[in-house]
Amino acid sequence: MRMLDRKLLRDLRQIWVQCLAIALVLGCGIMVLILATGTQRSLEATRAAYYEQNRFADVFATLTRAPRSLLAEIARLDGVARVEGRVVFTAMIDLEGKPEPAAAIVISVPPSGEPVLNVPVVRLGRMPRPDHLEEVAVSEAFAEANGLRPGDSFRAVLNGQMRPLRVVGLVISPEYIYTVGSGAIEPDDENFGILWLSERAAASAKDLSGAFNDLTLTLARGADERAVIAGVDRLLAPYGGTGAYGRDRQPSNVFIEGELKQLGAMATVLPPIFLAVSAVLVNMVLGRLVALDRGQIGLFKAVGYKTRAISAHYTKMTVGIGLVGILLGWAFGWWLGHGLTEIYTRYFRFPSLLYRPGAAPMAISGLLGMAAAVFGGLRAVRSATRLPPAVAMSPAAPPVYHRGWLDRLGGRLRFRQTTMMILRSLVRWPGRAAVTLFGVSGSVAVLVTSFFTFDAIDLILDELFERANRQDATVTLAHPVNARAELDALALPGVMAVEGLYAAPVRLVNGTRSRLVSLQARAPDARLSRLLDADGEALQMPTAGLALAAGLADALAVEPGDRIRVDLLSAPRGTWEIPVSAVIRQSLGQDAYMNRDAFFQLIGEAPQVNMLHLAIDRNRLPELQAKVQETPTIARFTLWSEIRRQFEETLDESLATMTVIFASLGMLITIGVVYNAARIQLAERAYELASLRVLGFRRSEVAYVLMAEQMLLTLAAIPAGWLFGYGFCMLMAEGFSTEVVTIPVVVTRRTYAVATLIVILTALASVLVVRRRLDRIDIVHSLKQKE
């Protein structure tokens, strides 16, 4: 083994703890990158395989009623590969022992027994047979939540008729990976499911024999989706078509796309923090080592070692740190990524797991990690090789000490000598202090970014369930009825107040931008369900014009005062130019709103409602639920307390895990920065600290010099960490926001306080560990070291 390599091993044995701390920080950045990108790529591969194997449709459309002969004409459209017409409608389910009614979407199964598109995967049992009208296949999630198995029976209200059904199979479908019912914001497996009935049974219940009311199709390779959608809309318009849309608007697929986007944001925002901090730490440790080796470097040069050999010697140390960090990051990133992908697979109920993080993320993360380590040590390596041998072998010139403003200020304030030592160290070596400030502020920023998620969710919950939606329940009607239904609803048991609204499908168009959304026509004096302005306060419904959710307004590039085209896609159909009167705050969904009187005056129809918000007496809820099950015009009954409970349970489970992970990462940065800084301080100031002991200072007073400097730097770094953290929160909110969910940027004092407390306690623990080494310092050996 060469002499320089033996020296390298000796150096590593002496500072292995500092090197391991740096490698762990670097490994965390690699781990987050592999975790996020690996899970993202694996989910994309799993979803793509599921879609392809089960022929997930490319275009979807709903309509009122069309003859099946129209399918042949649609199939002849340029770009259409396969087409399938179905019967789809909503139903109420009466489960034995369950007081509240459940809702379901009923989908017809063709006589062949297997749909052409969106093919369900049978997990248990089989699909319904064509001639058995009572047989039904049930979505697996709904069946498990309600304890249903093949052979069990239940009753369902199908288009106003109560029918007994027998479960013959449990299935999953690529069309309903994420199953959310009308008016809900989260999957409710206990109260909402999917039913597959034979085409004959479904058509008979809906009175659609020889007809269909739902259309799905796939595109030929290279087909123009927009042209196909335009052709489908043209053919379905006479039959009550409500506007065809592609996968980018299909609810289940939209949610999965949002999850993939959030994983991408995680991989973009967090790893650079860890890589930058690790580069700074490498510079700290290697710079200190080079300073101690100054004389040896001069000796090596004097005996004939080339500058290149000496540079390679110190570069090997940075490469070694980088390799350890990269390997740790790869290992833990792969392991955690596989576990997270398994969680997603179970949550989305994919039929199989394809964990394929790919070689590209591994290679890119490895290159970034190595670059951070090598470039972090580059300055120290250059300083090691720049000096001529004679200069390097001579002791470094001692710093020039003189009394300045700090000494005069300390004298006036009567600071102790130990305090003056701390202040002089900070003023005379500002670069070293800046390194610690940067690292600790990065730790605070990571923690603020982690805990900000709770603040955003708290605000969303408050706006969603306290300010905007104050109703106890929402009734979705099977079809629009006269507005007098509000008075009829007041006669239901326990109903104390009713607000009706009419939701209609519309296409909003501004130039080349368009969105297919729901337009809600609301009463101007609505009090149960309210709109919120940009500050989160209740907004009076404009008397004319549209109120658009902020995310929808951004997507259409409009603001108050602009006019947009509104295509009404339900009867009586029509197109109008309507001004945008207000942009509202809405965290979940992208809806448009209009004054109910102005809307029906515009379309020339009598006021109608198809949804009812209710304020109810909770003591009479069982009576109300029993009455709802007997009312054929009600398609779904939703309790907002249940929506909130399930929403909070889902968030608590996912956010708690992620917060623990990122809080640990933030603590690790603090440990790496403060521990290394304290160790370097101890090594550099061992002579001074030993001298204090000889002069009679107690151990606690000597330890104060070491500990107080690091804690003072930690406290000074916290405000900068707050500022950086807020910036990262803005990036995270933008990256995590989708067309379905808008994450507000809100950071509370609690978040700043918790992040600050964690950093202070972690920093204190780190310097206490170093203080133990100070207590064991050999005074005689320290006093013998060269100045």
118-135 pLDDT, tens digit each = 999 999 999 999 888 899
**pLDDT at residue 668 tops 90:** no
Helix, strand and coil percent figures for the chain, each rounded to 5: 55, 20, 25
Give the model's confidence band at 106: pLDDT under 50 very low, under 70 low, under 90 confident, else very high. Answer: very high
Residues 721 and 755: beta-carbon distance below 8 Å: yes
- How confident is the prediction for the chain on average, in pLDDT? 83
What does the block give as tokens for 415?
């600071």
Q: Percent of the chain having pLDDT more than 90?
A: 29
Task: List C-alpha distances in Å: 19 to 32, 447, 456.
Answer: 20, 23, 37
Cβ 232 vs Cβ 241: under 8 Å: yes
704-751, pLDDT tens digit by residue? 777 787 888 889 999 999 999 999 888 888 877 777 778 888 899 999
Residue 232 contacts residue 89 (beta carbons within 8 Å)? no
pLDDT higher than threshold 70 for residue 73:
yes
pLDDT in tens, 361-417: 888 888 988 888 888 777 777 776 776 766 666 666 665 556 666 566 666 666 667
Q: How far apart, in whole angstroms, are the C-alpha atoms of residue 483 and residue 600? A: 11
| Torsion sign (Cα): 483, 641, 170, 151 | negative
- Please check the confidence at residue 197 and state whether its pLDDT lies above 70: yes
Q: How confident is the model at residue 1 (pLDDT cuts 50, 70, 90)?
A: very low
Q: Which of 247, 255, 256 is nearest to 47 (CA)?
A: 256
β-strands 245-246, 608-616: how paired? Answer: unpaired
Contact 220, 79 (CB under 8 A): yes
Identify the weakest region by mean pLDDT among 36-45, 179-188, 685-694.
Answer: 685-694
Instruction: For residues 599-620, give the mean pLDDT.
Output: 91
Chain segment 472-512, per-residue pLDDT in tens: 999 888 788 888 888 888 988 999 999 999 999 899 999 88
Strands, sheet with 80-86, edge to edge from the N-terminal-most edge strand? 80-86, 211-219, 59-67, 245-246
CA separation for the pair 716, 710 (Å, rounded): 10
Confidence of residue 83 (pLDDT cuts 50, 70, 90): very high
Highest-confidence range of 173-187, 219-233, 442-456, 738-752, by mean pLDDT? 219-233
Q: Is the pLDDT of residue 787 over 60?
A: no
Least confident range of 309-318, 331-340, 620-629? 309-318
How far apart, in whole angstroms, are the C-alpha atoms of residue 183 and residue 297? 73
pLDDT digits (tens, 9 = 90+) for 648-663: 776 766 666 677 777 7
Report the range out of 225-239, 240-254, 655-669, 686-700 with the highest average pLDDT: 225-239
